[in-house]
Every structure is written in structure tokens, then in C-alpha cells.
């Protein structure tokens, strides 16, 4: 449904005399029909730029792309007819009601008045917006307003929907509601592409994920396969302030400990360890730290997350970027 090769974009630097910013450095994608595909990465990774290029809002500097059967470079107008796009901040107006917004949007897509009213009504029902459809948008909660944004993005039944950070700033219940709507659209056969910097969102919502950093893809696959690459368990150990370096040294030098695949310092007062059997290793680790006179606090045992995949590929954490 979406195929790209070497898609790239640079911006002139905002600082005079500085080289251009390579926001997207050549991205290859193959998104299948009916999947929820996610771009996960820290701020500035190039997610929004990629999405805006695919949605015809920014012209790429180079590469190739076909979206829903139309060529992005040769026929952007046809691409635009076949896609929907919802920007980060959304597009609703304070004083206008959801019903009015939806009718207007349908008419913008060339629909006649009666048909626009009918489609708006259908969308209000599908997105569970009917109850407050005739109140101005300024009276809605963040989650309700987000659902109006998405309803506006799909009023013309596009084949592909692009959503930029669809749940940013929402409370957990509203995020769950938005995820339900996105899954419903997939159930109707729509292909949905989302950007997110929330690890749990990429994990729970997306069928496949591209993890992006500095304008390039550093890993791609289903959340499950990506996490399976990181074998074993993750153990997080909280320490006294400023103890991380001493603790890391003590564990690295301690003979007879279970094999550590990797050991990372988390700031100045935490360690993150990757090993085969976390539960069996914890008593040994604590004894070794105690023997070195290091104060330990909380200990958590986790399965690897998508952040561990990012860390393994880039040496940094998305959460701490
Ligand atoms: N109009 C612009 N002019 C100059 N640089 C830009 C412009 N837009 C984006 N950039 C730069 O391009 C890079 C990628 O930005 P982009 O917004 O695509 O990242 P992102 O992953 O979506 O991050 P965020 O989640 O913060 O929006 C960043 O270094 C950003 O500063």
C-alpha cells in the first residue's frame, strides 16, 4: 500500500553558515494493506517530516514513493485523494461544532450537501460523538476533540490514514479510546500510519514498527520480533545517589557472576543489566554490590521493551532522549 525507496529531505539550517539539516536520510518502506504501521523514535528523529512527505505536504528532495497505487512525485494530487492526514495539533475550530466541521470537511472533498450531512451523521455515530455533536468544539475534552480530528481525516473514506502523534497529551482512558478507533478503522480495511514517541503505544497498537533515529531506520519489524532480538531479561537496579559508576565497576570486576550480555548506567543512580535468567541472577548481583559497599534501592525484573531495542541499536534510550 506504501512503498518507498531512498526517500530523503534536508532543511536549510536555521543558523547562518551551518550545513543543512538532513531530517530524513533515505527511507525504504513497504507497508502492507490493512496494517497499523508505526514510526517510533525520539524527538527530532524525522518522524513528522517522513509523514508529511508521504502525505504530499512536503516535497521530498529525492527517492521514490508509491502510495495507494499513485506515484508521489508524478501524481501528488491523486495521492491526496486517496489518503487522510491528521496533524499533531488537529484541525478543529473552538467555536464550530463537530457536526459542522464534518459537513464542511465532506463538502471540501466535493461531496454534495445532502450526502455530506449523511456522512457527517454516520461519522458522529461511528466515533461515538453524537451526544455532543452540536456543542462547539471548545467544550470537548482532549480525547473527544482528538476523535473529531480523526473522524475529519477519514470523512472521504481514504485508503490510507496518516496520524501524527495521535495520543500526545491525552490521559490513559482517552488514549485507549483513540486506539480503539484506530483498530476499528483497520478492521474496515484501512491502512493506518502513526508516528509516536510512546513505547507502549508502538507496542500495543502497531502491527509493525520502524524505529527511527537521526533521519534513518535503525530497526523494523513486529514489536514481538524486535523484542525477541534482545534475548533474556532486563534487571533494573536503583542505587544511592552518585553510585552508578562504582556499582558498574564492581559488577564488571566480580568473578563468578551469571554472564552479563550488557550493562548500562542509568544516570548516576541506576543500572540496567541484560542477562539470561534475571530472577536467578538478582541474589548474586545484590551480594556483589553489598560486598563492594554500594547501597542498593529498588530492583525490577522486566522483559525487554522496544526501548531496549533502540538502546541496543543506538546506545541511547528513547525515554531519556
Ligand atoms: N522547517 C524546518 N527547518 C529546519 N529544520 C527542520 C524543519 N523541520 C524539521 N527540522 C529538523 O529536522 C529534524 C527532524 O524533525 P521532525 O519534526 O521530522 O522530527 P520528529 O521525529 O517528528 O520529532 P518531533 O516528535 O519532535 O516532531 C529535526 O532536527 C528538526 O529540527
- Which band of pLDDT confidence, cut at 50, 70 and 90, is reported for residue 229? confident
Structural domain that includes position 252: 231-303
Rounded distance from Cα 10 to ligand 1 centre (Å): 10
Q: Does one domain contain both 44 and 119?
A: yes
Q: Does one domain contain both 144 and 190?
A: yes
Name the residue with higher pLDDT: 316 or 189: 189
| Ligand 1 atom 3, closest CA | 11
Judged on CB neighbours under 10 Å (0-12, 13-18, 19+), 218 is: middle
Residue 42 Cβ contacting ligand 1 at under 6 Å: no
Length of the chain: 321
Rounded distance from Cα 111 to ligand 1 centre (Å): 35
- Which band of pLDDT confidence, cut at 50, 70 and 90, is reported for residue 100? very high
| Ligand 1 atom 6, closest CA | 11
Q: What is the ipTM of this complex?
A: 0.93
Whichever domain contains 276, its CATH number is: 3.30.70.270
Q: Does one domain contain both 223 and 235?
A: no
Whichever domain contains 103, its CATH number is: 3.40.50.300
Which of ligand 1's atoms lies nearest the C-alpha of 41?
21
Q: Going along the chain, which residue ranges are E strands?
A: 2-11, 21-31, 36-40, 62-67, 70-71, 83-86, 160-164, 191-196, 208-213, 216-221, 233-239, 260-265, 270-275, 296-302
Q: Does one domain contain both 289 and 177?
A: no
Q: Does one domain contain both 237 and 208?
A: no
Q: What is the mean pLDDT of the chain?
A: 91
pLDDT (tens digit per residue) in 24-42: 999 999 999 999 999 999 9
Q: Does one domain contain both 138 and 23?
A: yes
DSSP assigned state of 168: T
Q: What's the CA gap between 279 and 292, in Å, rounded?
A: 21
**pTM score:** 0.85
Amino acid at each position: 500500500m506504501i512503498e518507498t525507496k531512498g526517500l530523503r529531505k534536508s532543511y536549510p539550517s536555521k543558523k547562518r553558515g551551518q550545513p543543512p539539516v538532513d531530517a530524513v536520510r533515505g527511507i525504504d518502506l513497504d507497508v502492507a494493506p490493512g496494517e497499523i504501521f508505526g514510526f517510533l523514535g525520539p524527538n527530532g528523529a524525522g518522524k513528522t517530516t517522513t509523514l508529511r512527505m508521504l502525505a504530499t505536504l512536503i516535497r521530498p528532495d529525492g527517492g521514490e514513493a508509491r502510495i495507494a497505487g499513485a506515484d508521489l512525485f508524478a501524481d501528488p494530487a491523486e495521492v491526496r485523494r486517496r489518503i487522510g492526514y491528521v496533524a499533531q495539533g488537529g484541525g478543529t475550530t473552538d467555536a464550530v461544532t463537530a457536526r459542522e466541521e464534518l459537513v464542511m470537511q465532506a463538502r471540501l472533498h466535493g461531496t454534495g450537501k445532502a450526502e455530506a450531512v449523511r456522512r457527517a451523521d454516520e461519522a458522529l455515530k461511528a466515533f461515538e460523538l453524537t451526544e455532543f455533536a452540536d456543542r462547539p468544539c471548545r467544550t470537548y475534552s482532549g480525547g473527544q476533540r482528538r476523535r473529531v480530528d480523526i473522524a475529519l481525516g477519514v470523512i472521504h473514506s481514504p485508503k490510507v490514514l496518516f496520524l501524527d502523534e495521535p495520543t500526545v497529551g491525552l490521559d490513559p482512558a482517552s488514549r485507549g479510546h483513540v486506539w480503539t478507533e484506530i483498530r476499528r478503522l483497520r478492521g474496515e480495511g484501512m491502512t493506518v500510519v502513526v508516528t509516536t514517541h510512546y513505547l507502549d503505544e508502538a507496542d500495543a497498537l502497531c502491527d509493525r514498527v520502524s524505529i527511527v533515529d537521526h533521519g534513518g531506520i535503525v530497526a523494523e519489524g513486529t514489536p514481538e520480533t524486535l523484542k525477541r532480538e534482545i534475548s533474556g531479561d532486563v534487571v533494573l537496579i536503583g542505587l544511592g545517589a552518585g553510585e552508578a559508576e562504582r556499582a558498574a565497576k564492581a559488577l564488571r570486576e566480580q568473578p563468578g557472576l551469571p554472564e552479563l550480555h550488557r550493562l548500562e548506567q542509568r544516570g548516576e543512580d541506576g543500572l540496567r543489566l541484560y542477562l539470561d535468567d534475571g530472577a536467578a541472577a538478582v541474589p548474586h548481583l545484590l551480594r556483589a554490590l553489598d560486598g563492594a559497599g554500594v547501597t542498593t534501592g529498588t530492583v525490577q525484573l522486566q522483559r525487554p521493551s522496544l526501548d531496549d531495542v533502540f538502546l541496543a541499536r543506538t546506545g541511547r534510550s528513547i525515554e531519556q532522549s
